[in-house]
Amino acid sequence: MAYRNLRESPQLVSEVLRHFAALLRSEAELAKGELKEKAASAGTGLACLAAAAILALAGLHVLAAALVAWIATAGLSPGLAALLVGGVLIAAAACLLAAARARLNGKALLPTRTIRSVQRDAASIKEATHDRH
């Protein structure tokens, strides 16, 4: 086993610290970029949630009008049509709500690429330290 000159030790430690700092900076930049992407996705999810709320409100109004028309006319034709329209609006709101929930869950917002990159870096560092012993 070849031993290095002890005078090189401070330089080696300095180089390792410099590489480690650069690694931390690059991982922080990666995390920042990924979190920006996730925030944009969350914004889209919130927009879907707002649209779902508006459609649900409109659907409830139509359903209420349909119920009133149905009770008033007992002929069912105008009320049944209004119930059909209200049901379609509620179904659309349910679809938007499902899309919003998919974009806003905790797992979808995790910076997964950054986590994988940090895990690879940690494994590389661990492997490099085991190779020296």
**Model pLDDT, residue 2:** 56
Q: What is the mean pLDDT of the chain?
A: 80
The rounded radius of gyration (Å) of the Cα atoms in the chain is 30
The DSSP call for residue 75 is S
Alpha-carbon span 78 to 71, nearest angstrom:
11
Alpha-carbon span 91 to 110, nearest angstrom:
30
Q: Residue 53: CB partners within 8 Å, gap ≥ 6?
A: 93
Q: Tell me: pLDDT of 108 over 70.
A: no
**Model pLDDT, residue 102:** 83
Number of H helices, E strands in the chain: 4, 0
Mean pLDDT value across residues 98-107 = 81
**Model pLDDT, residue 55:** 93
Q: Tell me: pLDDT of 8 over 90.
A: no
Mean pLDDT value across residues 112-132 = 76
pTM over 0.75: no
Q: Which residue has the higher pLDDT, 116 or 133?
A: 116
Evaluate whether 117 touches 30 at the Cβ level (below 8 Å): yes
Q: Tell me: pLDDT of 3 over 70.
A: no
**Model pLDDT, residue 6:** 61
Nearest to 67 by CA among 56, 58, 57, 78: 78
Q: pLDDT digit string (tens) for 35-59?
A: 888 888 888 889 999 999 999 999 8
Q: Residue 129: CB partners within 8 Å, gap ≥ 6?
A: none
Confidence of residue 74 (pLDDT cuts 50, 70, 90): low
